[in-house]
Structure 1
């Protein structure tokens, strides 16, 4: 056994010597016993044989809690043995739910003596499989254990069986979760965090939706000097030792780890629910973190160090803090390919395949893990070193990760601010296994638009990504001592991201990028972000069912996230709110002050009733009207129609600023997925419709100047699913895209409601200048290319 601390080798003992001696003695004893004792000795020998082939199941045996299968006496190995255990063996276990038939194929790993986090062992015979069941009941397992040169990274089933473990089967039963610790934060009472197909947010197995509130600094979070073999680690997190509590984990006889464990406990206590961390900073900025025995020894892993990392991840699960694991840094994204002599140019090295397998085997069972292919990936920095991945590499790396990772966790990618179009575009839709985009935005006021770009682009590609803002340019978020109010971070970044449909933010601080030790320096920033997320929870805002909808609020500096029944508006510079609402409907409205010092309850709450609908002036916030405010508008019901015996009531005041001309046509809506309306571009109000499918005339004199047409999806008819061949960018659309046709020719593709035949931008509705005068025209709107259409035949009388 070898124990390592701070990179210094302390002691070495011949592995498993005592065990081997005891076994030999038992065999000798069989030869010396008398006949009457022969039966007892035979029974003892059988027991010894069973112990050698045993597989031990441990764990809390509840759903969403890890279950461990250990082979205590598997093939003996050491980190530095000539026969490299990391490459020579491949242990995999398949778990199948007896009730549902759900199946998980989970890579396993060599664990030295099984207690390496505490003993520092670098040798032993324990092999381990970690699995988190996601349903109660019986789970059946079957084990594949192979050996041979390079077999660890083979995917063709090659290798000789390791007897007697290869082909072994068994089962265990788990009960429902009863974990109610950590104030409801514990991921073990929520289940696995993963993206939902067709959605742009992540959700836990228990149904809770997730918005990320994270710290992006320090990126070398695991550059912690109390991990084994981390001599250059920049961190001790000394100020957070006070946050470590009795009962919290440590490792080793000297109880190391209190600083990093305390830091995570503090972050969780102030609402931070994710940490950005790199397992590999060799050749990068910090140069202090690596998973191997040596800095560039890409074939051999430091078992005790990784076991200590796992203790930290266990605490993160318990505290409700997800790990955003960034697998490479821009300066080292080709490090493994360069270390592999069998790889030429920008290839896919065996050592990288091993890297992905070891990390997933050791850490993939954690409920809150998010995998990120790399930081600033693909950036050609001009150094001439060629340390960048190619489109082909990104696609094959992602495909390999997706095939290896059993649980469907997030697979995302981070890139340089100017490279988003070049890097992300080839990965859209079914072109890759990517499920998330991790954005770095240089100019803070651009956060909203850049987030919106990739939210919409991924939706159009029929595979919405989980888009998060994980790095902001310049100095980043400065400490409270410099910017105590964090106005720009809140206004431009936090609310800019959320209203564009982002799945959350992580806060970057340039000065603390590798050196941050005390997270209390940003306490006001954590509190500001946490207040916003608490507002959404307290008001039950279904952000996962809402879409970016800037068009519903007037003013180019205003943003909105909306569904048919609720609208969340953000006024960057305050002022009066004018929101597009449905006619004859009652709405509850209330204001939220996003700045610290205010409460979390809505202010100025009241009910308004619309008559004509359209652009509805709601007014200004209760105070500080020239500062940023959020406005929540919720539909509470239609306006009831008075019964005939009731004396007529005075008409309700119109919520529209200007009277609306009577519609020239009002007939049965056309068949198909849409109804058509004429829109006044000055007010955004529908002034005619639904228009007839045949035989109608539109009199130009009765319509407002510069009118447009709007296609309104029929209630209860959602957009159809897309085929894999649907055009992704620049063509006739994805799910949610409406293709306008005039006399059989495509004239407009609209990707965001309102679906207008001439389009709109930031509240400005463009007039339909191609409106035909005289004669009949056939106008159609359809879902995507070749989708269902609604058609109208009209004559324009000018």
Structure 2
């Protein structure tokens, strides 16, 4: 973290007015700081330029390979000077490795990873050229589209303050040496205002622009942080930045009004490669629209629970994380209560809560867990104006958008947002319009492309209209990164048709689970986006129809159907629901362990490529309400791996393409795996213990079959 103060007072200032260059630029969420240091570097200014072209490529590769080590990184000219006095580049590499500046085991590894053209030159000698920089994922944000006037928002619609343009680079001035940062890490700059402001959250607009040496830029907002430690009063503003590429990033800030401590500061960040375990942020799922990849191309099997870790003491919080991760949970849905995040009104934020949330997000990121931030809650914030909405969305992205662990659900139950203002369909339409306007605005300022969506139940607050017919719709497709649906599976079980008002029920049957599968498949096909089922009903010891209506058994079965639909999901478990936080209760119940079996099995398979494949398996239907409903569901990567979930067990046939496959039966209650031998492509029969319970919340009847080509299953 780098701290900038202005105006300076003697030697106490970290950066003096002489070392900070005033610029009329966008304040960039930045990391560590460096301007060109003309002192000793100037005395060797020609060393790098005097090198031959091939030697410049080697010098630049060594320069970019430097890691944070407590030792000041060498400049390009210093590296070039070392080469003049050494017998070979190998000697320079050995000296840098001995001091901890580089971690690669050989010069060849450095060149392979960092050896890229200097300017427009070709590849480093003896090494392949790296790919050109990708097209920027986040161009300069355009002003958001006008948002429709909505209930509770009588004021005229006005555009947000424009982000200033980036001026030409400043002249060189003395500044601290650069500190290294890791790619996809969260870096922070602390600024201190000189003026006092009545409403610092809204009266001051701080922005920052980071420019990579390739030309890529990120423009971000800064945020007010009180005393910087969770106190409301103070002069601290912060900017946070995620280096999306390794190499040199220059940054510059601007503020309105142009406070000397916030406006016109500039510097440089040097980003190295990601640390072990840092796979980068999740990216928008592409065809076949199953799971999001990390920025490095790897995948996480997403399986989530709702939680409020900030309510735990540190030791209990660590125990919660250990318990969840020990059972394969990879995603926590963090519901931000209105009573906790605001400080008296919608334009001020409770910085004590925000610091507690900072801690939670940092801890989840360090553990490789996904933090899904739910920003609005039902109709709690329905009286916020458009201006307050935009200020809040800017603040959230400024504060949390640079964390690679974060995804955003703008509103829980988005259809409820204006439930108190009208009745029936008007509520739903106004809420949908608000949800689209909020989503479009958030995406227009989303510098690091944090994945964002809405939680869409398709129901009115009073449950009067619209629920079941809306399940086939996704009105946010123009801006959302994935589809998030609430599919209350016991309501789907009880409904005679999908044209009626949501029935309240505590019974789980084949009709409800088959409908869930069919809805997920249809949404993906129609809207060409990945689907998550976040709230298929919460686990409960009793029953609150229909939103809290599943037993441990019903939760297990429903999550397997979600998985066998090529979707991911989350639920709320007894032990960490709402205001309850009891890890021991969570550990004693079977639910978490059985969700862990889902996660363990799927991680051994190429889940991100396993598309819905119901056609390969006998449907084994049951008749409810005069209609046949399938009880088997399948996903697969053709010719490689298939998973069949048999809700009622029984006998049937799986049709496989040519090849040889191991057959493995998995007990979803215990995780026990039994090898059933080898089969070849064609129509392959199977026989499982079978039963049809009257209520799938109570009866145990389900099994999982895996058909895996040799070598396709990971340990």
Per the shorter chain, which TM-score range? 0.5 to 0.7
User: Which residue among 353, 358, 367 is the counterpart of 2:395?
Assistant: 358
Structure-to-structure mapping, 1:19-418, within 5 angstroms = 49-50=17-18, 57=32, 61-71=181-191, 73-77=192-196, 81-82=197-198, 84-99=199-214, 101-114=215-228, 116-117=229-230, 120=231, 122-147=232-257, 161-163=258-260, 166=263, 168-179=265-276, 189-198=278-287, 199-216=289-306, 221=308, 235=311, 237=312, 241=313, 244=314, 258-281=315-338, 289-294=339-344, 297-337=345-385, 349-379=386-416, 389-416=430-457
Is 1:436 aligned with 2:511? no
Q: Give CA deviations for 1:141-196 in whole Å, capped at 9, x if unaligned.
A: 2333222xxxxxxxxxxxxx44575454432112122335xxxxxxxx22112332
Q: CA deviation at 1:113?
A: 3.0
Q: Give CA deviations for 1:6-59 in whole Å, capped at 9, x if unaligned.
A: xxxxxxxxxxxx999x95xx8xxxxxxxxxxxxxxxx99998544787997277
In the alignment, what sits opposite 1:548? Answer: 612
Larger Rg: 1
Q: TM-score, normalised by structure 2?
A: 0.63
Q: Quick one: structure 1 residues 328 and 45, their matched pair in 2 at CA, closer, same or farther if it must change by over 3 Å?
A: closer
- In structure 1, what is the Cα distance between the partners aligned to 2:678 and 2:201? 65
**Contact 2:539–2:571 (Cα < 8 Å) also in 1:** no
**The residue matched to 1:409 in structure 2 has which SS?**
coil
**The residue matched to 2:415 in structure 1 has which SS?**
coil
- In structure 1, what is the Cα distance between the partners aligned to 2:227 and 2:399? 15
**Contact 1:138–1:171 (Cα < 8 Å) also in 2:** yes
**Contact 1:603–1:622 (Cα < 8 Å) also in 2:** no
Q: Quick one: structure 1 residues 312 and 202, their matched pair in 2 at CA, closer, same or farther if it must change by over 3 Å?
A: same
- In structure 2, what is the Cα distance between the partners aligned to 1:70 and 1:141? 14
Q: CA deviation at 1:382?
A: 7.4
- In structure 2, what is the Cα distance between the partners aligned to 1:380 and 1:106? 28
Q: Quick one: structure 1 residues 456 and 484, their matched pair in 2 at CA, closer, same or farther if it must change by over 3 Å?
A: closer
Q: CA deviation at 1:261?
A: 4.9
Q: TM-score, normalised by structure 1?
A: 0.56
- In structure 2, what is the Cα distance between the partners aligned to 1:306 and 1:519? 24
Q: Quick one: structure 1 residues 107 and 451, their matched pair in 2 at CA, closer, same or farther if it must change by over 3 Å?
A: farther
| Structure 2, gaps ≥5 residues long | 23-29, 34-178, 460-465, 491-507, 544-548, 621-629, 693-698
User: Which residue among 688, 691, 703 is the counterpart of 1:629?
Assistant: 703
User: Which residue among 574, 580, 593 is the counterpart of 1:527?
Assistant: 593
- Which has the larger share of strand? 1
**Contact 1:64–1:191 (Cα < 8 Å) also in 2:** yes
Is 1:572 aligned with 2:647? yes
Q: CA deviation at 1:603?
A: 1.4
Q: Quick one: structure 1 residues 51 and 518, their matched pair in 2 at CA, closer, same or farther if it must change by over 3 Å?
A: farther
Is 1:475 aligned with 2:595? no
**Contact 1:132–1:365 (Cα < 8 Å) also in 2:** yes
| Structure 1, gaps ≥5 residues long | 1-17, 27-42, 148-160, 181-188, 225-234, 245-257, 282-288, 338-348, 638-798
Higher relative contact order (CA 8 A, sep 6+): 2
In the alignment, what sits opposite 1:500? Answer: 565
**The residue matched to 1:327 in structure 2 has which SS?**
strand
In the alignment, what sits opposite 1:659? Answer: none
- In structure 2, what is the Cα distance between the partners aligned to 1:429 and 1:46? 46
- In structure 2, what is the Cα distance between the partners aligned to 1:48 and 1:379? 51
Q: Give CA deviations for 1:60-84 in whole Å, capped at 9, x if unaligned.
A: 611222111222x33444xxx53x1
Q: CA deviation at 1:632?
A: 1.0
- In structure 2, what is the Cα distance between the partners aligned to 1:142 and 1:74? 16
Structure-to-structure mapping, 1:369-768, within 5 angstroms = 369-379=406-416, 389-416=430-457, 419=466, 427-428=474-475, 430-433=477-480, 435-443=482-490, 444-445=508-509, 446-461=512-527, 463-472=528-537, 475=540, 486-491=552-557, 493-509=558-574, 513-523=577-587, 524-538=590-604, 541-554=605-618, 555=620, 556-565=630-639, 566-582=641-657, 584-596=658-670, 598-599=671-672, 602-610=673-681, 613=682, 615-620=683-688, 627-635=701-709
- In structure 2, what is the Cα distance between the partners aligned to 1:351 and 1:278? 19
Aligned-residue CA RMSD in angstroms?
3.8
Pick which of 565-574 and 617-626 moved more.
Answer: 617-626
**The residue matched to 1:328 in structure 2 has which SS?**
strand
**Contact 1:497–1:504 (Cα < 8 Å) also in 2:** yes
- In structure 2, what is the Cα distance between the partners aligned to 1:488 and 1:426? 26
**The residue matched to 2:650 in structure 1 has which SS?**
coil
Q: How many residues align?
A: 502
- In structure 1, what is the Cα distance between the partners aligned to 2:353 and 2:238? 16
Q: CA deviation at 1:323?
A: 1.8
- In structure 1, what is the Cα distance between the partners aligned to 2:401 and 2:542? 31
Q: Quick one: structure 1 residues 304 and 379, their matched pair in 2 at CA, closer, same or farther if it must change by over 3 Å?
A: closer
**The residue matched to 1:374 in structure 2 has which SS?**
strand
- In structure 2, what is the Cα distance between the partners aligned to 1:385 and 1:267? 41
- In structure 2, what is the Cα distance between the partners aligned to 1:45 and 1:390? 49
In the alignment, what sits opposite 1:156? Answer: none
- In structure 1, what is the Cα distance between the partners aligned to 2:560 and 2:334? 24
Q: CA deviation at 1:499?
A: 0.5
- In structure 2, what is the Cα distance between the partners aligned to 1:192 and 1:47? 32
Q: Quick one: structure 1 residues 262 and 106, their matched pair in 2 at CA, closer, same or farther if it must change by over 3 Å?
A: farther
- In structure 1, what is the Cα distance between the partners aligned to 2:14 and 2:691? 82
